[in-house]
Amino acid sequence: MPGLLDSVLTIADETLRTLFAPAHSARALPLPPDTPLSEPEKRHIAGLMRVNHAGEVAAQGLYRGQALFSNQHATRQFLQRTAQEEGDHLAWCEARLTELGSHPSRLNPLWYLGSFAIGAAAAVFGDETSLGFVCETERQVEGHLAGHLERLPAGDVRSRQILQQMKADEAGHGQLAHSQGAAELPPPIPWLMRSAARVMTSTAYWL
């Protein structure tokens, strides 16, 4: 019982920090100076970065939910470490939104809790399936970031460097999950994941 209580309290603390405390990065990301941007460009970039920030909030929920119900200690450690590294992305996106005079998605609690539930459900089917979710999630996020890199104004080198580093990190997380025995997900699951992601990205751009 004490172990379960400790886990619940830890998850509650991590949830509150993710949703309501300023994000902090453990890694310094050297960025080029900002360049002059028009107001429409700033609004568009802010929409893209708000989507990316929402995605990182969702990643925190997903990996924390998976970690809580993992069977093996090694899998739990991997998921917790991955969530911590994704926390850097959260901080970078949050800082960029502040620079642009904008704000994170107002629906972040929904993205976090929904993803936590998905992560917990994935973990129930075993560590291999849970790691498969990591692989597929990172694969889809890589594609999503590649699309955002194409949509950024050419002059926004600051946001571009953030997204390029995020994309490289996501690829590394997916490769590590695969090396630890990730199972291939059945065909309907990736499609459902993409559908859920489209709802989030189309909403978070504006809200």
Query: Tens digit of pLDDT for each residue in 168-193?
Result: 999 999 999 999 889 988 888 889 88
The number of beta carbons lying within 10 Å of the beta carbon of residue 174 is 22
In a domain, 172, yes or no: yes
DSSP state of 174: H
Comparing 18-27, 80-89, 96-105, the range with the smallest average pLDDT is 18-27
Whether 28 is in a domain gets the answer no
Q: For 54-77, what is the mean pLDDT?
A: 91
Which residue, chain included where needed, has tokens 């119900």?
A: 69
Prediction pTM value? 0.92
Task: Let me know if residue 17 belongs to a domain.
Answer: no
Does position 20 have pLDDT exceeding 90, yes or no?
no
pLDDT in tens, 98-139: 999 999 999 999 999 999 999 999 899 999 999 999 999 999
Contact 139, 117 (CB under 8 A): no
Residue at 11 is within a domain: no
Amino acid at 34: D
- Contact indicator for 62, 111 with CB cutoff of 8 Å: no
Q: Is the pLDDT of residue 154 over 80?
A: yes
Q: From the CA atom positions of the chain, what is the Rg in Å?
A: 17
How far is residue 131's CA from residue 176's CA, in Å, rounded to a whole number?
9
Distance CA 80, CA 68 (A): 9
Backbone angles phi, psi at 106, to 5 degrees: -75, -10
Q: How far apart are CA 133 and CA 169, in angstroms?
A: 16
Predicted confidence at residue 84, as pLDDT, reads 87
Is residue 41's pLDDT more than 60?
Answer: yes
**Amino acid at residue number 10:** T
Is the pLDDT at 17 greater than 70? The verdict is yes
What is the rounded CA–CA span in Å between residue 202 and residue 207?
9
Q: What is the mean pLDDT of the chain?
A: 90
Nearest to 122 by CA among 169, 37, 18, 192: 192
The CATH number assigned to the domain holding 166 equals: 1.20.1260.10
Residue 19 lies in a domain: no
In a domain, 61, yes or no: yes
Is pLDDT above 60 for 2? no
Residue 15 located in a structural domain = no
CA distance readout (Å), 42 to 20, 34, 87, 98, 103: 24, 12, 24, 11, 12
pLDDT tier at 5, thresholds 50, 70, 90: low
Is residue 110, in this structure, part of any structural domain at all?
yes
CA torsion sign for 50, 54, 60, 66 is negative
- Give the length of the chain: 207
Please report the pLDDT score of residue 34 as a whole number: 86
Q: Does residue 21 surpass a pLDDT of 80? A: no
Query: In this model, does residue 1 exceed pLDDT 50?
Result: no
Q: In terms of residue numbers, what domain contains 99? A: 40-204
The number of distinct structural domains making up the chain is 1
Beta-carbon-side half-sphere exposure of residue 34 (alpha carbons within 13 Å):
12
Query: pLDDT class for 39, splitting at 50, 70, 90?
Result: very high
